[in-house]
Amino acid sequence: MADPALTGHCGCEGVRFEIDEPLKAAGYCHCTRCQRRTGGGASATAVVAPGSLRIVAGEELLAAWEPEDGFAKIFCSSCGSALFGRAPDSDEISLVRLGVIDGDPHIRPQGRQFVAYAAPWEPIPDDGLPRFDETFPDR
């Protein structure tokens, strides 16, 4: 088998994963849920090609915060690392947090969503990326 395109792991290294196809899109989310679950001002997340992500270790460590009206936020129950997102009507992981990928994920954030809710303590960088008050229009 060829080497996977990307590998990644959580902070305690209990959870390991591989992604066999290039990531499809990426962006920053400034919503208050992402602020809460990360403790930061925004979260950088990428879209995974369907069927391309495999959990190779620590599947039993995965836990999820599942809001009634949004994506499930999957994290490592041992170290708390934010790892993945899953659509509410799906059982397949469709999002990966950029910060848990080893090395260069070979994609860059292309926009910022939920900027209407951005943290008051951190100005949004003047990076030229398109900004959306609510969700990305293509999701």
Point out which residues bind Zn ion (CB under 5 A): 10, 12, 14, 29, 31, 34, 76, 78-79
Write down the least CB distance from residue 74 to Zn ion, Å: 12
Closer residue to Zn ion in complex, CB, 57/79: 79
Residue 66, CA distances (Å) to 22, 45, 87 in order: 27, 17, 10
CA angle, residues 109, 115, 120, in degrees to nearest 5: 115
Write down the least CB distance from residue 11 to Zn ion, Å: 5
Write down the least CB distance from residue 22 to Zn ion, Å: 23
Closer residue to Zn ion in complex, CB, 21/87: 87
CA angle, residues 66, 87, 24, in degrees to nearest 5: 135
Write down the least CB distance from residue 50 to Zn ion, Å: 21
Q: How many Cα atoms sit within 13 Å of 20 on the Cβ side?
A: 10
**8 A C-beta contact, residue 74 and residue 88:** no
Closer residue to Zn ion in complex, CB, 19/31: 31
Q: d(Cα 49, Cα 95) in Å, to the nearest integer?
A: 9
Closer residue to Zn ion in complex, CB, 23/29: 29
